[in-house]
């Protein structure tokens, strides 16, 4: 939503102020728009693999939706981990083997459908719980493995924003290319009357205008939003990591969950008392 608001402000400032003392018709050069769009898309396609392009296209719709990582979502993840660790503390690690191997058919996981639907988070939780059940790795080894996986995940999640940023950086240069093409066209019409030449030169300069406006006013904000979304999506993995490592270090479930709460972003972090009350309610049900 903020992206759309920003676009309205940008267009209002750039086009609206121009319209006060100029003619908007002078900016309507369809061939310039088509050339800029073609160069931008061509550059994006040429500089990326099919997998990265798919990630970019898949990430764009999320820019116009609210964040799924709400306080309620984080509390549900912490609630799930608390129930798992409580079961382990009472019945032993082997008691969660079936839950971990078949989360879709687990009564425990069934109480958290939004986590079951998030395949990446679900896999992260179950993979490391499975290692804990296996008992072949110590806390330090699992922590190192988590760090490596999170680093790879962050790099992959950041690719759409990074590549869109690079494509946006090229737009001013593409605008110059289009402008030069227009000037070359003007040079072939030097015999035309001054009003005609003036219109042709103005049309050529629209290419430069478009390249700069689209780069800094439209594509760069998209790149920034994609980077923010990638960073936002990484918090939950650090929360899960903190909780599981605390549990492996011997802390009680209630204390381990507190390690996870401290890793939450401040705007979505419940207070200690809020989380404690929520966990009590889950325990009673």
Position 122 scores a pLDDT of 93
Q: How far apart are CA 252 and CA 247, in angstroms?
A: 7
pLDDT of 237-256, one tens digit each?
A: 999 999 999 999 989 999 99
- For residue 100, the tally of other CB atoms under 10 A from its CB is 21
Q: How far apart are CA 171 and CA 43, in angstroms?
A: 9
- DSSP symbol at 23: -
Tokens read off for 165 = 């940023």
Read off the pLDDT band of 150 (50, 70, 90): very high
Q: Which domain holds residue 259?
A: 71-154+243-284
Answer whether residue 182 is part of any domain: no
The answer to whether 126 and 96 are in contact (CB under 8 A) is no
pLDDT of 93-104, one tens digit each?
A: 888 989 899 998
pLDDT beyond 90 at 222: yes
Answer whether residue 109 is part of any domain: yes
Answer whether residue 191 is part of any domain: no
Length of the chain: 285
pLDDT beyond 70 at 18: yes
The answer to whether 56 and 163 are in contact (CB under 8 A) is yes
Provide mean pLDDT across the span 167-185: 84
Residue whose token pair is 């309507």 = 28
Answer whether residue 124 is part of any domain: yes
Angle at 123 between CA 119 and CA 126, to 5 degrees: 135
Helix axes 220-248, 50-59, angle to 10 degrees: 90
Answer whether residue 127 is part of any domain: yes
How many CA atoms, within 13 angstroms, populate the side-chain half-sphere of residue 141? Answer: 7
Sign of CA dihedral 115, 117, 118, 124: positive
DSSP H helices, 135-193, are: 139-187
In sequence order, which residues have a C-beta less than 8 Å from that of residue 264 and are 6 or more positions away? 74, 235, 239, 270
Name the more confident of 11 and 98.
Answer: 98
pLDDT beyond 90 at 198: no
Q: How far apart are CA 50 and CA 72, in angstroms?
A: 35
What is the domain count for the chain?
1
Read off the pLDDT band of 22 (50, 70, 90): low
- DSSP symbol at 216: I
Of the candidates 6, 117, 10, the one whose C-alpha atom is nearest the C-alpha of residue 64 is 6
Q: How far apart are CA 201 and CA 194, in angstroms?
A: 10
Answer whether residue 148 is part of any domain: yes
Burial group, residue 235, by CB count within 10 angstroms (0-12, 13-18, 19+): middle
Answer whether residue 230 is part of any domain: no
How many CA atoms, within 13 angstroms, populate the side-chain half-sphere of residue 205? Answer: 7
Mean pLDDT of the chain: 86
The answer to whether 77 and 83 are in contact (CB under 8 A) is no
DSSP H helices, 188-219, are: 194-214
Answer whether residue 14 is part of any domain: no
């Amino acid at each position: 939503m903020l992206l759309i608001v920003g676009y309205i402000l940008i267009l209002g400032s750039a086009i609206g102020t121009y319209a006060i003392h100029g003619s908007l018709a002078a900016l309507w050069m369809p061939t310039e728009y088509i050339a800029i769009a073609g160069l931008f898309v061509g550059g994006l396609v040429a500089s990326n693999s099919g997998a990265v392009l798919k990630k970019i296209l898949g990430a764009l719709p999320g820019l116009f939706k609210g964040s799924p990582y709400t306080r309620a979502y984080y509390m549900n993840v912490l609630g799930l981990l608390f129930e798992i660790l409580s079961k382990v503390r009472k019945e032993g690690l082997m008691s969660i083997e079936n839950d971990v191997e078949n989360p879709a058919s687990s009564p425990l996981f069934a109480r958290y459908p939004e986590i079951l639907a998030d395949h990446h988070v679900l896999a992260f939780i179950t993979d490391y719980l499975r290692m804990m059940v296996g008992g072949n790795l110590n806390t330090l080894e699992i922590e190192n493995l988590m760090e490596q996986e999170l680093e790879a995940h962050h790099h992959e999640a950041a690719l759409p924003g990074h590549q869109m940023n690079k494509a946006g950086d090229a737009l001013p240069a593409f605008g110059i290319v289009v402008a030069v093409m227009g000037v070359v066209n003007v040079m072939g019409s030097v015999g035309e009357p001054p009003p005609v030449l003036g219109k042709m030169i103005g049309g050529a300069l629209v290419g430069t205008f478009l390249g700069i406006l689209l780069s800094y006013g439209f594509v760069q904000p998209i790149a920034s939003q994609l980077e923010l979304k990638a960073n936002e999506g990484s918090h939950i993995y650090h929360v899960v990591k903190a909780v599981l490592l605390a549990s492996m270090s011997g802390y009680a479930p209630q204390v381990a969950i507190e390690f996870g709460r401290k890793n939450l972003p401040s705007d979505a972090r419940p207070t200690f008392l809020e989380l404690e009350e929520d966990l009590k309610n889950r325990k009673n049900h």
